[in-house]
Amino acid sequence: MSRNMDPSNLKIAYIGGGSRMWARTLMTDLALEPDLSGRIELYDIDFQAAKTNETLGNWISARPEARSHWQYTAVETLPQALQDADFVIISIQPGPFATMAHEIAVAEKYGMYFPVGDTAGVPGLMRGLRSAITFAGFAQEIAAHCPDAWVINYTNPMTICTRTLTKVVPELKVFGCCHEVFGTQHILAELAQSYLDLPAKPGRDEIRVNVLGINHFTWIDAAHYRRVDLLELLREHIQKPGVLRPYTRQEVEAQNNYFYDARQIKFELFKR
């Protein structure tokens, strides 16, 4: 069924609506977007997690700082969430964490170390196989209940999950999102501020990059701030003593941050 979207009355279906990260980030983003309003139906295999996000989402939407209005509802079935949706957002954990931990441990036993293992190597392969089966089912349900919806996928392995949807139903409108490249833009913005003596760090959108490859295996072959070649600045930067050096496990763990990045691998690969 084809229909025009009404920006003031959108329906968003959220698969993985009990998410503790992406769903809650989306709630804040939508609350601050004045040009969109509507309803979001949260579906999750953990219904209570979706109910928690229902409460949180409606609380955020009712805040005085909110610039739009959204009604959040947890639903018990996937078809109910998808029916006549304008957008479908997918952010799930494919399989339990215990399975993921086992895959990483097996790889480590044979000398292959993965901090996450959601994309590359044997852990990524196994997760990809699990994900493809699940996403094939999602594709069929989306085609049945909201074939004209735009589908936005956040689940990793990004390429396998997103490609599965269009492989099963080629007519679906699908794209994948990840903040991976944003982090690199912030690094380059820091370099620009430092080496160009700027009064403030440039915004991410001011750093122009040309990106190649697939998600979690991206390469940048050109980067500029205005007309300044940032890769030349990076080349200069990594020559400084102490920029490229070994880090001990104790140093990294002392940061007390699972997402801490000492930038050594990306800088070493760039150097080579």
* Parts of the chain with a pLDDT under 50: 1-2
Partners of residue 207 on adjacent β-strands: 225
Domain 10-176 in CATH 3.90.1820.10: yes
In terms of Cα–Cα distance, which of 195, 219, 220, 193 is closest to 208? 220
pLDDT for 218:
87
Q: How far apart are CA 258 and CA 129, in angstroms?
A: 26
Task: Give the dihedral sign, CA 212/217/221/225.
Answer: positive
Residue range 209-259, pLDDT digits in tens: 999 988 888 899 999 999 999 999 999 999 999 888 888 888 888 888 877
Token pair of 111 as six digits: 């000398």
Structure tokens at 151: 């589908």
Query: DSSP letters along 210-244, please?
Result: EEEEETTEEEEEEEEETTEEHHHHHHHHTTSTTTS
Q: Is 224 a catalytic residue?
A: no
Residues in Cβ contact with 246 at an 8 Å cutoff, skipping those fewer than 6 apart: none
Q: Is residue 32 within 8 Å of residue 40, measured between CB atoms?
A: no
Q: Which of 179, 186, 216, 224 is catalytic?
A: 179
Query: Helix (H, G, I), strand (E, B), or coil: what is residue 25?
Result: helix
SS3 130: helix
200-230 core/surface letters (b: 16 or more CB in 10 A; e: else): eebebeebebeeeeebbeeebeebbbeeeeb
Q: Is 13 strand, coil or helix?
A: strand
> Over the chain, what is the mean pLDDT?
92
What's the burial of 29, exposed, middle or buried (CB within 10 Å: 0-12/13-18/19+)? exposed
148 in Cβ contact with 82 (< 8 Å) = no
Question: Measured between alpha carbons, how far is residue 26 from residues 11, 130, 156, 202 in Å?
Answer: 14, 25, 17, 24
Answer whether 52's CB lies under 8 Å from 42's CB: no
pTM score of the predicted model: 0.85
What is the reported pLDDT for 1? 38
Q: In what order do the strands lie in the sheet with 38-43?
A: 70-75, 38-43, 10-15, 87-90, 150-153, 173-176
Q: Residue 67's pLDDT is what?
A: 96
Domain spans of the chain, in order of start: 10-176, 180-271
